[in-house]
Structure 1
Amino acid sequence: MNIQNRIVSVDIFRGLTIVLMILVNNPGTWSHVYAPFLHAPWHGYTPTDLVFPFFLFIVGCSIVFAYQHKPVDASTYKKIAIRALKLIGLGLFLGAFTIHFPFFKDFENIRFPGVLQRIGVVFFFASILFINFNWKTLVGICAFLLIGYWLLMGFVPVNGMAPTFERAPNNMANYLDVLVFGSHSYKADYDPEGLLSTLPSIATALLGIFTGLILRSKRAKKEMLLIGMGFSMLVVGYVWDLFFPINKALWSSSFVMVTAGWANIILGLIYYFSDVKGIKFGSIFKYAGANAIVLYFLSSFISKIMGLVKVDGDTSLKAWLFNTVYVQDFLAMETSSLLYGLSLVSFYVLLGYILYRKKIFIKV
């Protein structure tokens, strides 16, 4: 997409999302975190639970910008597949890396699912669907994924037991994660980026595709349409919550609708002020969004190293830095923890700015 034809609000939204992803993943200590920066224990959602679906949503928008006029041929399929495999590979590397020779964990301790792996899988299937079907067919596929997932989770017996949406062995998503991944999951009994919940996460990207199509269209009052769609999705999501609880770990169908609703509302507002009114703001997020995956990967990789490197005996480099610089008698521990995260965010935003100014855009 040519720079003069870029939709500024999409760049700002992407950058804002990646900044929040880095922030919520990097508190000074997980023992002291303000509630809005934590995930919901199970059902329900917090502001933090919006961040990952927002990123998948904007992945869907970006698919429209990248592939709307691409030929459906072997070359396009190859590019989609290579990018998906790169994302999955980076995610597997993060899960397997350790600082001790031979620099990879024992096979049985490697987590297979993960954030980058899910982004790669969702990008692959959403892109393939987009280049092969029109928007009406995609609406049908999206509805099929969400309704089918609800029916599968809520009505199909699990190992001879009645299904449940709770964190239990007779939860279909949890059951399949244990069955397929075993010790390669985030938790012993489930994975928040698990196998079955990948299906509705594809629907999240499809909803982003519909928004991308609106933004690329010539219709007037796009911001009002996005905001109206957003409120409609919120209503559907909250009604669905009565039957299929809002739950990030399960990526429930109600969760998909509610998070896409908020994404449309926020993006619609940003679009109105930045693209319609021409008010210049949020450039700091635009810089970060230009190399979003790279900044996310670096933040995850460096934080992992800081947690593994030991100083003063068994104290990690991260813990030493946090306790030495950020823990002060006049600050609440939650505030110290947040300041540590904000410091990291500032560093990666600065790095994003430098890359942007030097016109270095690393495509993964």
Structure 2
Amino acid sequence: MIANNDFTAFKTFHSEQLHMGFLLLFVFIMGTSISLSLSSMLRRGCSKWKLLGKILWRSLLLFLIGVIIVNPNYCLGPLSWENLRIPGVLQRLSCTYFVVAVLELLFAKPVPDNSTLEIPCPALRDILPYWPQWLFMMALETVWLCLTFLLNVPGCPNGYLGPGGIGDFGNYPNCTGGAAAYIDHVLLGEKHIYQHPSSNVLYQTTVAFDPEGILGTINSVIMAFLGLQAGKILLFYKDQHRQIMLRFCIWSVVMGVISAVLTECSKDEGFIPVNKNLWSISYVTTLSSFGFVLLLLIYYLVDVKKVWSGSPFFFPGMNSILIYVGHEIFENYFPFKWKMQDAQSHSEHLAQNLIATSLWVFISYVLYRKRIFWKI
């Protein structure tokens, strides 16, 4: 194992885990939608310059909305630059969307409904024409690996992935997050990142750490790109149900094998352990494997067997940003949250979250029926 991985041990059931799970699924599906939407708009004759303008504007709006949401004191007065938190969920989505969408726009071509590209290996027509994209992604991942495991972080061992504080027998109290935290501190400043990470309570750390920091965004881009590949499969093999499901299955297995190698089939050990707070590459490949399986099941039920329309999850998808912003603003208010008798009870947390989720699904249904959609 390259480094101690106590940082993966944030196992208490709290909102951060829910946010990270949501973010990962959203990132993967966002990549899929980028492929489908850009191909559709190019087919309708939209110029790439016009699309680039839309991408820039959407990314900027998403980033600004995210900054406002993660700095709730704006209700008490103007935002103060002195302690303004810069990273956040929507900010990461914004940067991820921008990189993946621009990269796709550079090489994208309108894919006709009956795509029959003439390439040496027709079975790889969703991959080979886009080899520059794959080279870029491999270079990006190389940057993440080098920064994570080779960057000299003062007072910390190279490749440290632990929580600092009392973790690792208290040997590295100020090394929370290793290179990821160090980069955020240098580029953004300590006052501009998350001040109350889970490690404060679990490991008694005193160092600020942001789970949506700069370094982890690299692997967020990788995640979205894998989702983009799923979209290409749907485009290039349209109505070829067997081919689509076969490729989803192959990609799931490939991602699973990579994860098994990186983690040595262990829970929190291996060469690069699964680490949700740092968005390690093994975390991305593991969840991507599940992402392809999920798409396979949904495609089979919705498009092949036609036994499910996608409801009720279809409705939140039509107003995803509005629902997320609403959740962030009202998550601590009744009826979405209330004082529990036992704050450590998983069943009470589960009931609370199920009720809150159901309420937001109902709200999204009402918005859908009234034809109210918030698009960015």
After the TM superposition, which of the residue ranges 168-177 and 72-81 deviates more from structure 2? 168-177
AA aligned to 1:143 is M
Distance in 1, Cα, partners of 2:11 & 2:186: 35
Distance in 2, Cα, partners of 1:195 & 1:332: 32
Partner of 1:322: 338
AA aligned to 1:244 is I
- The answer to whether the 8 A contact 1:231-1:265 is kept is no
Q: Shift in Å at residue 353 of structure 1?
A: 0.7
Where in structure 2 are there 5+ consecutive unaligned residues?
Answer: 1-9, 108-128, 165-173, 196-206, 264-269
- Pick from 333, 338, 341: which aligns with 2:350? 338
1:174 pairs with 2:176: no
Distance in 1, Cα, partners of 2:91 & 2:106: 23
Note closer, same or farther for the CA distance 1:82–1:246 as it changes in structure 2 (3 Å cut).
same
Distance in 2, Cα, partners of 1:179 & 1:212: 37
Partner of 2:154: 159
- The answer to whether the 8 A contact 1:37-1:48 is kept is no
Note closer, same or farther for the CA distance 1:122–1:189 as it changes in structure 2 (3 Å cut).
same
Identical pairs, percent = 28
Q: Shift in Å at residue 161 of structure 1?
A: 5.1
1:130 pairs with 2:146: no
Partner of 1:9: none
SS of corresponding position for 1:322: coil
- The answer to whether the 8 A contact 2:68-2:74 is kept is no
Greater RCO between the two (CA within 8 Å, min separation 6)? Answer: 1
Q: Shift in Å at residue 195 of structure 1?
A: 1.0
Partner of 2:362: 350
| Superposition RMSD in Å | 2.8
Partner of 1:66: 37
Distance in 2, Cα, partners of 1:258 & 1:56: 14
Partner of 1:96: 71
Distance in 2, Cα, partners of 1:79 & 1:190: 32
SS of corresponding position for 2:276: coil
Where in structure 1 are there 5+ consecutive unaligned residues?
Answer: 1-32, 41-46, 307-316
TM-score (normalizing by structure 2): 0.74
Distance in 1, Cα, partners of 2:275 & 2:76: 39
Note closer, same or farther for the CA distance 1:162–1:255 as it changes in structure 2 (3 Å cut).
same
Q: Shift in Å at residue 339 of structure 1?
A: 2.2
Partner of 1:297: 325
Partner of 1:147: 142
Distance in 2, Cα, partners of 1:38 & 1:234: 27
User: Per-residue CA shift, 1:149-183, capped at 9, x if unaligned?
Assistant: 12321123223753112234551111111222311
- Pick from 98, 109, 119: which aligns with 2:83? 109
Distance in 1, Cα, partners of 2:70 & 2:344: 32
- The answer to whether the 8 A contact 2:241-2:304 is kept is no
After the TM superposition, which of the residue ranges 288-297 and 91-100 deviates more from structure 2? 91-100
- The answer to whether the 8 A contact 2:62-2:90 is kept is yes
Partner of 1:185: 193
- The answer to whether the 8 A contact 1:231-1:261 is kept is yes
TM-score (normalizing by structure 1): 0.77
SS of corresponding position for 1:98: helix
Distance in 1, Cα, partners of 2:136 & 2:295: 24
Distance in 1, Cα, partners of 2:76 & 2:152: 45
Partner of 1:197: 216
AA aligned to 1:260 is S
- The answer to whether the 8 A contact 1:177-1:189 is kept is no
AA aligned to 1:79 is K
Q: Shift in Å at residue 327 of structure 1?
A: 4.2
Note closer, same or farther for the CA distance 1:343–1:142 as it changes in structure 2 (3 Å cut).
same
Distance in 2, Cα, partners of 1:228 & 1:100: 49
